[in-house]
Amino acid sequence: MKSYIKILKKLISIDSGSGKSNKDIVFYIKSLFPNKLCKVQQYNYKGISYYNLIIKIKGNSSVNPLFFSGHTDTVQPQDKQWKRKCFNPKIVNSKLYGLGSSDMKSGLALMIDNAVKAMKSKLPRDVFLIFSADEETGGSGIRNIINFIPKINGRADIIVGEQTGGNLALGQKGCLDLKILMDSKAVHPANLSFRENYKINLIQKSLRLINNLNNWTIRENKRENRGALYKKYGGLIFNCGRIVAGVGANSMPEFLELLVNFRFIPNQKSVKDYKKELLNLIKKFDDKLKVEILFEGDGFETPLNNSLVKKIVKIYQQKLNLKPKIFYKKSWNEAVFYQRFGNVVILGPGTMGQGHNKNEYVKLDDLYKTSIIYQNLLKHKNLSF
């Protein structure tokens, strides 16, 4: 059994589902490295104790270090939906099944395995392994750990190991999640005319607001429907994910909660600007509505001619005899936070489309291919081989 498979199976066996402490998985990873290399950052968020981990391996040079980054949590386990036990990893038909196998414990396993092996000889440059908590829900981990990373010399090469099927993602959309709250006085619907009901019924009201948000998205897409960026990422997306209201057919809801999500093309307007527009739209619809920002994260894009991109393409060609597929993600992950440190790409072994799915798996071939890429990034400073 390959050493990274052994590590991956152990990572999967540890329940690190979102919404609970990730202490167990962090301290397992920490145990694989000399204690002096590890720094643990403990913080509390919404009553939960979370742990971030930074491992720094000294190389011959501190200039232009290499970062490997990933998150330690998974989505919440729903074991009843699995044909196999989600914490009991199994290999079937060249696929390894288990919760987090794709998103993104396979990426963590390869980072850990290759770093442990690389420490046996002197590395050409400093290497940082940066593992965050709480990516799947609030994103509190990356917001805490980003200021915990030591000051670096020069510009880092940064690999975010989210699932790309072993290929190369150079950008992602921005993301905004809102919670919109409505309330109303208690009234029996039998005492209202149709017009009165239509006006004050919170469910009817939420549908009108949803229609306004749909129309705003259509207008934005018409305005943005031009150029290469739109073709790469598709249009802006608006999704209504949850409505909670009412108790029965013969009652008027006194309270309504609406959860919505937006996805934005990068390098157009910032998520902050889009958020301002949307909050103004909602306020104009009804200035008494309460709006809570559940999540916001900008998009990013790394140019094709970036030095790190060229390095990775060269590894593919010379070590795997392959040409990597280069694409742009429509989902969000923590990669955008690392732009301040240097060159950022998303490259991980997870099987595209498997994250957040029941019976999640990763292909063994993707693990092998990505391991070769990580291995060669660790070995070479300038990659002029």
Q: Which of 75-79, 114-118, 258-262 has the lowest mean pLDDT?
A: 75-79
The pLDDT assigned to 225 comes to: 63
CA distance 122 to 126: 10
SS (H, E, C) the chain: CCHHHHHHHHHHHCCCECCCCCHHHHHHHHHCCCHHHEEEEEEEECCEEEEEEEEEECECCCECCEEEEEECCECCCCHHHCCCCCCCCEEECCEEECCCCCCCHHHHHHHHHHHHHHCCCCECCCEEEEEECCCCCCCHHHHHHCCCCCCCECCEEEEECCCCCCCEEEEECEEEEEEEEEECCCCCHHHCCHHHHHHHCHHHHHHHHHHHHHHHHHHHHHHHCCHHHHHHHCCCEEEEEEEEECCCCCCCCCEEEEEEEEEECCCCCCHHHHHHHHHHHHHHHCCCCEEEEEEEECCEECCCCCHHHHHHHHHHHHHHCCCCCEEEECCCCHHHHHHHCEEEEECCCCCCCCCCCCCCEEEHHHHHHHHHHHHHHHHCCCCCC
Question: Is a pLDDT exceeding 60 seen at residue 380?
Answer: yes
The pLDDT assigned to 224 comes to: 65
The pLDDT assigned to 367 comes to: 96
Q: Averaged over 55-67, what is the pLDDT?
A: 96
Above pLDDT 90, what percent of the chain?
78
Model confidence band, residue 383 (pLDDT cutoffs 50, 70, 90): very low
Question: Is a pLDDT exceeding 60 seen at residue 47?
Answer: yes
Question: What is the maximum alpha-carbon separation in the chain?
Answer: 81
The pLDDT assigned to 79 comes to: 63
The pLDDT assigned to 98 comes to: 94
Which structural domains are found in the chain, ordered by start? 3-172+300-379 (3.40.630.10), 175-297 (3.30.70.360)
Strand order in the sheet with 361-363: 90-92, 95-97, 361-363
The pLDDT assigned to 360 comes to: 93
DSSP bridge pairs for 262: 176, 238
Question: Is a pLDDT exceeding 60 seen at residue 99?
Answer: yes
The pLDDT assigned to 384 comes to: 39
pLDDT in tens, 274-307: 999 999 999 999 999 999 999 888 999 999 999 9
The pLDDT assigned to 85 comes to: 85
User: Which is more confident, 76 or 243?
Assistant: 243
CA distance 221 to 224: 5
Do 69 and 159 touch, CB atoms closer than 8 A? yes
Q: Averaged over 177-194, what is the pLDDT?
A: 91
Question: Is a pLDDT exceeding 90 seen at residue 128?
Answer: yes
pLDDT in tens, 202-251: 999 999 999 999 999 999 988 766 666 778 888 899 999 999 999 999 88
Supply angle C-alpha 302, 307, 313, rounded to 5: 90
CA distance 248 to 257: 16
**How big is the chain, counted in residues?**
385
Q: Tokens for 210, please give them.
A: 């949803």
pLDDT, mean over the chain: 92
Q: Averaged over 135-143, what is the pLDDT?
A: 89
Question: Is a pLDDT exceeding 90 seen at residue 38?
Answer: yes
